[in-house]
Amino acid sequence: ELESLGLQTGLFTLRQIKAATNNFDVSNKIGEGGFGPVYKGCLPNGTLIAVKQLSSKSKQGNREFLYEIGMISALQNPYLVKLYGFCEEGDQLLLIYEYLENNSLARALFGPEEHQIKLDWSTRQKICVGIARGLAYLHEESRLKFVHRDIKATNVLLDTNLDPKISDFGLAKLDEEDNTHISTRIAGT
């Protein structure tokens, strides 16, 4: 099933990811996503990564996991979080993304005081324009048309320069009648 996706990402081994995250050490846990916990890791070449681990109790399952890999690997834009690869080994299903130093826009604005970032109006405008550009790409410019349906401050991550990147695409499925449109489940938040 993986081969049919035409992935533009790499395959990681569980050993590599365990080494990068210090065996999914709790001190490396940076959040909780739609699939399950997210861990910070460091590859041997020094590249920082974010590892999204599918919860073993998740009912989202293998098929949806593979769809998300296929969908995200086809979406390449500076305003979308980059997917480096994945790991499917044993009972582990992992997505490996670029790590963004400033966490989420929600944390920057509303998180604990020590994690808040003072954003002046020009930076806020830059963030809003970046989000709009990312959405325009998803809606109009990408080969597959995609509607995120869960844009919120927790799903916008900020890099070192406070440039925004849209994340957490949720579960996607192809529209059976028209394979040029993808939409996600409604998250209700």
Which residues carry out catalysis? 150
Q: Are 160 and 102 in contact (CB under 8 A)?
A: yes
Query: Is the CB of residue 37 less than 8 Å from the CB of residue 79?
Result: no
Is 82:138 a contact under the CB 8 Å cutoff? no
- Burial status of residue 14 (CB atoms within 10 A of its CB: 0-12, 13-18, 19 or more): middle
DSSP symbol at 111: S
